[in-house]
Structure 1
């Protein structure tokens, strides 16, 4: 049925700072979701190749520190460069299995020189086509020591059966104007991706659902000290101040009325699968629609720059 969508929330850990091995885990999750007839699968923020946990554990703000430099260099080398074909296998799987994918990656884009990295949310449709790459607008706090600020190019939505789906990275979901931009494009299934932990997902997921009268899917990753590969550079320094659990999950789904469909799942590795019904969107929009009948564009409007930003522009 066109109004029903079977979704999978992939709450998994990365093979930390290892792009190739983490992509293998992503591929297996897509295969597993396809075997359950899922039509959309979502992964956490920066899953490939993982979140920069070292920044908070090794004195990340200390200037010219060897630990930070060496870990950053490894991070950049394991980042995803889409134009080099790093996601080709994911696209092929999506097409083969007729499943759409939202994947959080650390991106090393060639259109910005190829040396800086971005926390990007990639949407691959069920035909295996990359339709948007949203670079996180504002890295949060210590993330700014390794991630660069993105642009508005990826503030886009996509058709998926009866739904219109869009997404944001982590604390971007607290930013009212990017949310409004997606609402204005007709979003009614909002994807929020997180590095992990229910302290992020337990409030904002229901808030966005109630504000937008949309379904909201929040997906987080997992990370424990046991998940750090033994060959991680400066592992002893990282583990010295690390709690046993760095990311406990918290993936969840809220309905258009702001109530839980799936409450935050903690310490659960694998797929969380649910069927959502688009008709619920129309039911809740009856009394509130933030960009429709309950808006006043004659009083307040939002202007959005969706141009892909680059330092250099060449005239042909």
Structure 2
């Protein structure tokens, strides 16, 4: 996309990468290797930020809608849930250390969708989380999805507001949400109010899910990067538990989710058109001057707001079941 921006400078520009990849499904270590390869690919393209799809590490829980996931106390569901938890990301034991090291080595920020098994919630429940790793390799925030969607509630726990934060990156402040959280007006507003002008939206896959992206860009007058996962029958390892049951009814189709990742400018125009059906790491350069231009006629929490009438209160405390005092 060619931008006509007269008040731009080099410091306004940021090179960003969309990483549309398929996981090695429910295999954390093998998927981490694919994530690492994508980061290296983006580094070769001089990217300063890279984004991945929702719970790409170690994969989205496709089995629920395909194996009667709501059947209570069903041994199949219990086995699959146990396997999923076993392959989840435990940040406290260092599961993201290699990704953090790559971020530091390449000076690249990373948004990574993970299935998180946090120790501050007892270590036996999983959350759909979006980890932000800054260009120095530090984990800046871990946003746990506020409300899992439909059947996701059978395996993902509801999160909290702790990760509703933005982070400085070059001329930008970046923030992100998981999947259908991007439809939640107050969640978006929380990020706008924290200064967001680059919005990252991660999705499990499916081109239709990212059609909201031009609207998000125009509402926030921000750049919006929507990154989806990709999932083909061939991406399921042969040793996947209950694989035959999971794939039953898929017919001859190879594709479960077809991607649709894209990048949209603050005026709602595409910088990267939706990418469908392929794995790819694709980069583009964005310019903060365009944010400033588009905020001239609309700024949702600035000059075009009425905080004397309408305002939002956000609880960003990390929620835990117990707080221990040992002294």
1:4 pairs, out of 2, 10, 13, with 13
Q: Give 1:128-143 correspondences, 5 Å limit.
A: 128-143=137-152
Normalised TM-score (structure 1) = 0.99
Partner Cα distance (1:241, 1:82) in 2: 36
Q: Give 1:134-283 correspondences, 5 Å limit.
A: 134-202=143-211, 204-242=212-250, 243-283=253-293
Partner Cα distance (2:102, 2:219) in 1: 35
Give the deviation of 1:260 after TM superposition: 1.5
Measured against aligned partners, the alpha-carbon deviations of 1:227-286 in whole angstroms (never above 9, x if no partner) come to: 111000111101112353111010001110112111211012120211111100000000
Note if 1:56 corresponds to 2:60.
no
1:285 pairs, out of 278, 291, 295, with 295
Q: Give 1:25-174 correspondences, 5 Å limit.
A: 25-174=34-183
Give the deviation of 1:42 after TM superposition: 0.3
Partner Cα distance (2:270, 2:281) in 1: 18
Give the deviation of 1:64 after TM superposition: 1.4
Give the deviation of 1:315 after TM superposition: 2.1
Partner Cα distance (1:244, 1:145) in 2: 25
Moved over 2 A (4+): 241-244
* Structure 1 unmatched ranges of 5 or more: none
The count of aligned residue pairs is 315
Measured against aligned partners, the alpha-carbon deviations of 1:59-100 in whole angstroms (never above 9, x if no partner) come to: 111111122111110000000010100000000011011110
Normalised TM-score (structure 2) = 0.95
Partner Cα distance (2:247, 2:75) in 1: 17
Moved more, 62-71 or 213-222: 62-71
Partner Cα distance (1:290, 1:40) in 2: 25
* Structure 2 unmatched ranges of 5 or more: 1-9
Give the deviation of 1:2 after TM superposition: 1.5
Q: Secondary structure at the match of 2:26?
A: coil
Equivalent residue for 1:22? 31
Partner Cα distance (2:280, 2:219) in 1: 29
Q: Quote the RMSD (CA, aligned, Å).
A: 0.7
Moved more, 26-35 or 181-190: 26-35
